[in-house]
Amino acid sequence: MAMAMASVQLERQTSIQDSPRSPEAKLGMQVEDLWDVQEPELSPNEKLNACFESIPVSAFPISPQGIEIKSDASLAEAVQILAQNKILSAPVVDVDAPEDATWMDRYIGIVEFAGIAVWILQQSEPSSPRSPSSPNGAEFAITANGMVSAAGLGALGPEDASITSGDFFEALTSSEFYKNTKVRDISGSFRWAPFLALQKSNTFLTMLLLLSKYKMKSIPVLDLGDGKIDNIITQSAVIHMLAECTGLHWFESWGSKKLSEIGLPTMSPEHIITVYEDEPVLQAFKLMRKKRIGGIPVIECGGKKATGNISLRDVQFLLTAPDIYRDYRSITAKNFLIAVRNYLEKHEKRSPMLSGMITCKRDETVKELIQKLDSEKIQRVYVTDKDGNLEGVITLRDIISRLVHEPRGYFGDFFDGVLPLPENSRV
């Protein structure tokens, strides 16, 4: 096997020299090397599991972002840092941790637009015996005019759109509460808490399972030597890696299958959470928080056709672009999509929202879907029938979950050292 492995690697190295490939493609060729020497009796899925278990996460290309947010930064500052660097999330460093602190004491979590949005909605809910408002929540409810009635757990109708428009967001972004609340104050509401990191020696299989079955959006990779984050691997980065592996045997054997063949989409149309065009955009954000989902399709009034998509990360436009809510005093879901597109075109900013509604059909292949997700830089695609009616949704996590499976007892005591969810975590 060693001689066969050396021969295959020599061929791969020659092809790489002849045709320069991206770091992700070179990584895919490592998988190819391992794929070619797997035991023939293994199924394709078992082969992939074995290949990914043989590659350490240290081999994954380094993300260039390197942005960290200090725990004493305000929510307003955190939002600006994320927006200016065009990233959705960043690790939070505890400013009170000693210089020689371990990674677990140094980092308190990962904050993202989605987490801030969820926290804002949580604080705005009216108090109840089961969920008493904190002093901060009460102060916020007073500061943001109309927010309590707009963002409670009750249903919102089209007539409530004005409540969730200019006054609400203007009061929020100009309030001392928003400017003074520190990132560490909302650590219990980080959407992907608890903070979980991998060591460089952990395997690709571990990483892929955490990003799919265990629903993590991003995973920090630590250098235990200095206790600092060396890389952050996201679901999007994995999908980009897969897109770069087109043409490789192991990828084509899996990617050539139709979506329906690998059981996608997993959700039936009647179980998809939707919002109508004339409902307040805050209703969409509220539903995402309540249902713990990252995005929601906007459906035409009285029909079944999806006209757009709103994700939790899109709350950034309401926190960083005041001209959106000033121009659109009644922010319905439809008007929000129009306003954001106009804003992005005006400021010449590239964004998935400029592409409109991205859809696919059940008979498309996995490879076609991966290429679409990667080129459009989006988190989900909606499945439609020949008439354009919504049939399902497929996320990055869904795709990764079809690539690998968790062997029995695989994680063992892996999670024993993970920080538990804070008591005030509701997401």
Considering the domain architecture, whether residues 276 and 389 belong to the same structural domain is answered as yes
Same domain, 290 and 326: yes
Domain boundaries, position 345 = 259-403
Domains: count for the chain:
2
Residue 2 belongs to a domain: no
Residue 307 maps to a domain = yes
Q: State the sign of the Cα–Cα–Cα–Cα dihedral 164, 169, 175, 180.
A: positive
Are 285 and 374 within one domain?
A: yes
In a domain, 142, yes or no: no
Cα 344 to Cα 83: distance, rounded to the nearest angstrom: 13
**Residue 182 counted as domain residue:** no
Residues 331 and 383 grouped into a single domain? yes
298 & 214 share domain: no
| One domain, residues 266 and 248 | no
Model pTM? 0.80
Q: Are residues 248 and 264 in the same domain?
A: no
CB under 8 Å to 348, separation ≥6 — which residues? none
Q: How far apart are CA 221 and CA 207, in angstroms?
A: 10
273, part of any domain: yes
Tell how strand 218-223 and strand 295-299 pair up: unpaired
For every one of its 427 residues, what pLDDT tens digit does the chain have, with 9 covering 90 and above? 444 444 444 444 444 444 557 999 999 999 999 998 988 888 999 999 999 999 999 999 998 767 899 999 998 899 889 888 878 788 899 999 998 888 888 888 888 777 777 677 666 555 444 343 443 443 433 333 333 333 332 344 444 444 444 456 667 777 787 888 899 888 765 544 456 889 999 999 999 999 999 888 888 898 877 778 889 999 999 999 999 999 999 999 999 999 999 999 988 888 899 999 999 887 888 888 778 788 899 999 888 888 899 987 787 787 777 777 665 545 789 988 988 888 888 876 766 666 677 899 999 999 999 999 999 888 899 999 988 889 999 999 999 999 999 999 998 877 765 544 444 433 3
Q: Is residue 102 part of a domain?
A: no
Residue 280 belongs to some domain of the structure: yes
Residue 392 shares a structural domain with residue 361: yes
Same-domain pairing of 237 and 314: no
Three-state DSSP state, 98: coil
Spell out the alpha helix ranges (H) of 164-280.
166-174, 176-180, 204-211, 235-243, 249-255
CATH number of the CATH domain containing 307: 3.10.580.10
Q: Are residues 249 and 296 in the same domain?
A: no
Please check whether residues 296 and 360 belong to one and the same domain.
yes
Give one word for 66, left, alpha or beta, with left for phi > 0 and alpha for psi -120 to 50.
left
Residues 248 and 396 placed together within one structural domain of the fold: no
Residue 70, beta-bridge partner list:
93
- Tell whether 377 is covered by a domain: yes
Q: Which of 181, 113, 129, 170 is nearest to 147 (CA)?
A: 170
